[in-house]
A and B are shown apart, each in its own frame.
Chain A
Amino acid sequence: MIQTIAFYLFAALVIASAVMVIMSRNPVHSVLWLILAFFNAAGLMVLVGAEFIAALMVIVYVGAVAVLFLFVVMMLDIDFAELRAGFIKNFPLGIAIALVLAAELIFGIGAYQAGRIDLGVASGAAAPILGESNTASIGAVLYRDYIFLFEAAGLILLVAMVGAIVLTHRKRPDGARGQQDITRQVRRNPDEATVMKQPEVGRGVEL
């Protein structure tokens, strides 16, 4: 029973916050709703007993989204004073969401204690791997069965990186400002780098 209530709570909030992601005009708000959507999706994962994936959702997506958030903030011209202006006005909404999150935590933990939702067995060829922990199963599948795809996905990331560098990297002309010549720095010795002066009282130093 508690699982069902928790499921509908999480699922409804995933959908509601996904709708808000595309409905809100402010991109920063969109990103915040997106984080809420990810948290709730992670809650759904907990309900079916996939706690490792739930943790990954929070770490990877919410972590990555935090970076995305940073980019949005850096790239867009957003007036933060104006954002804060509505603090009092939006305070009740904030409290409401905080309460919902608290309720989710309670229901989520309760549902997890009560045991995971039984999804049944898929009709397809893939038989569930039983008797191991989730993390060990994922590791086994990822590095044994799907090693080819795993490595190929790594190559895709490399291609993306090379592509980004090819399209944006510009070589600075030699001697440009801010260019560092490490060899020259290392080869400097104290004799030529420092000058001893004995200035007279009340006079400055001429260099």
Chain B
Amino acid sequence: MSYATSLYLTAAEIGLSITALVLLLLAAWNGDRSARLLTIIAVAALVGAAIFSIGLFDRSASEVAGRAFGDLYRADAFGSFGKVLIYLASAAVLIVTPRFFTQLGGYRAEYPVLMLFNAVGMGIMVSATDLMTLYIGLEMSSLSSYVLASFLRQDDRSSEAGLKYFVLGALASGIILYGVSLVYGFTGSTNYDGIRAAFALDFSTGALFGVVFVLAGVAFKISAVPFHMWTPDVYEGAPTPVTAFFASAPKVAAMGVLVRIAMDPFAGEVDAWRQIIIFAALASIVVGALGAIGQQNLKRLLAYSSINNVGFILIGLAAATAAGVASVLTYLTIYVAMVIGSFTALLMLRDPAGQNLETFADIAGLSTRRPALAWCLLVLMFSLAGIPPLFGFWGKFVVFQAAVQADLVALAAIGIAASVIGAFYYLKFIKVMFFDEPTRDVETSSPVSHWAVLGVCVAILSPLGYLLTIPLGEWTAQAAASFVAAM
């Protein structure tokens, strides 16, 4: 394995890092005046990195060819799929960001730089095939997330969100590191292949502790119950575009880490981790559905909704089959479209003075003031609830199908039952928009960029999305095959 090949395989991350460094210099020279220009360059870089990752997708089918730097990093189909999602989600969030901060006067040139570094970290995470690479990627992504959460530093809620996220995130990192040290101690290797080989020989109680600690730490990052407590507070306090980001790209990255770690190094110990995943899945679905019912703040509501969705994604992982992994990726793709769409719509809700609106009282009677936006939100909410003609249904369908095929019928049944509870607050959202009396004025126009992002998301989620089922099925199956080769 030559360095040239390794550098080529990691070119997306290297390119993004170099762009971020150049942007950092530009930010230092030109100050915050150039923030918008830097945002545009960052979006272009992210889209370029996504296109490059698509290029790697097919090439990585030959397994050995995808390994970089002595198997610290693997550019396989799974990693490429995750990276395309991550980079596109980050780019979409960056597009809708500047307007929010311009209103509050807090947009600074470092924002796109931190987003780029975050994307680099997430890219490393999904491709990591060594526990050290995993930790480095995780820290790079987390550290920039903490700063982004408290980016509106004159706002108390934003600072509080950043501090909470930092303290609990550091705790989760510590838990992961402790688990990593146990796994390394019992296997003598941090490489995924080495760990799998060592576990095949001997899987002791100490190693089981290591596995549990690593899974618990990652469960924190995907905000699965019982490690979800930070989510509503951080999502509510962080600036709305940052919340949109937290709910999309880092979730994909952390889920990618969880899937890879469960299906590669711990693939031989399915019995050991399956019950943990099943518990987390069911608890997340129930807590996400019940917790959202009493919420008045829409960002908090969407936070519980994301906890709920993580539960469904974990059902696919609990199947521990190739079909399960493919269903996780399908669900993640649809989930990202739903989350970005919902938060973009939320960003377009402003009163005439330009203040962002974020409670149920504010969206009452929205259908008379902003019919187009209300109908888009209707599509998004029905899709989140999993109502059939919309594409959100397909994600839930493949996940439950994978679970049933893996003889987890009870799990699938409870999941379906709980998704009915979850439908309640999505329907409440629609009822308030369409049937309540309007109580306040809203801004009547939104910029084209927001409409473009929202339009793409809604188009994917509309029944048109079913045109994607066949290619999406092929891509996810190919990505899932990255692990089956190892199993």
Give the B-binding residues of A (Cβ under 8 A). Answer: 122-126, 145-149, 152-153, 155-156, 158-160, 162-163, 165-167
Interface SS of chain B? helix
What is the chain B residue whose CB lies nearest that of A145?
B70
Enumerate 25 A-B pairs (CB-CB under 8 Å) in ascending A order. A123-B198, A124-B194, A125-B188, A125-B191, A126-B188, A145-B69, A145-B70, A148-B6, A148-B69, A148-B73, A149-B132, A149-B133, A152-B133, A152-B136, A152-B137, A152-B140, A155-B120, A156-B140, A159-B144, A160-B143, A163-B144, A165-B110, A166-B108, A166-B110, A166-B114
Q: Which of the residues B10, B114, B189 comes within 8 Å of A162, measured between beta carbons?
A: B114
Chain B nearest CB, measured from A40 CB (Å): 19
Q: A124-B198, A125-B188, A159-B114 are in contact. Are A166 and B133 (CB under 8 A)?
A: no
What is the chain B residue whose CB lies nearest that of A166?
B110
Does B72 lie within 8 Å of A149, measured CB to CB? yes
Residues of B with C-beta under 8 A to A146:
69, 72, 132
Given the complex of chains A and B, what is the CA–CA distance between A160 and B114 in angstroms?
Answer: 10
Given the complex of chains A and B, what is the CA–CA distance between A97 and B463 in angstroms?
Answer: 75
Q: A148-B69, A167-B147, A167-B150 are in contact. Are A162 and B24 (CB under 8 A)?
A: yes
Chain A nearest CB, measured from B158 CB (Å): 10
Residues of A with C-beta under 8 A to B120:
152, 155
Does B68 lie within 8 Å of A148, measured CB to CB? yes
Residues of B with C-beta under 8 A to A124:
187-189, 194, 198
Interface SS of chain A? helix
Does B6 lie within 8 Å of A123, measured CB to CB? no
Given the complex of chains A and B, what is the CA–CA distance between A167 and B70 in angstroms?
Answer: 38
Given the complex of chains A and B, what is the CA–CA distance between A162 and B70 in angstroms?
Answer: 31
B residues 107-131 in Cβ contact with A at 8 Å: 108, 110, 113-114, 117, 120-121, 124
Given the complex of chains A and B, what is the CA–CA distance between A31 and B147 in angstroms?
Answer: 28
Q: Encode B186-202 as 1/0 by CB contact (under 8 A) with A.
A: 01110100100110000
Chain A nearest CB, measured from B406 CB (Å): 31
New A-B contacts (11) at CB < 8 Å, excluding given A152-B140, A156-B136, A167-B162: A123-B188, A124-B187, A124-B189, A148-B69, A153-B136, A156-B140, A159-B114, A159-B140, A159-B147, A163-B144, A166-B147
Given the complex of chains A and B, what is the CA–CA distance between A147 and B6 in angstroms?
Answer: 11
Given the complex of chains A and B, what is the CA–CA distance between A155 and B113 in angstroms?
Answer: 12
Q: Which of the residues B117, B150, B191, B194 comes within 8 Å of A159, measured between beta carbons?
A: B117
Chain A nearest CB, measured from B293 CB (Å): 35
Chain B nearest CB, measured from A120 CB (Å): 11
Residues of B with C-beta under 8 A to A163:
114, 143-144, 146-147
Q: Encode B134-152 as 1/0 by CB contact (under 8 A) with A.
A: 0011011001101100110
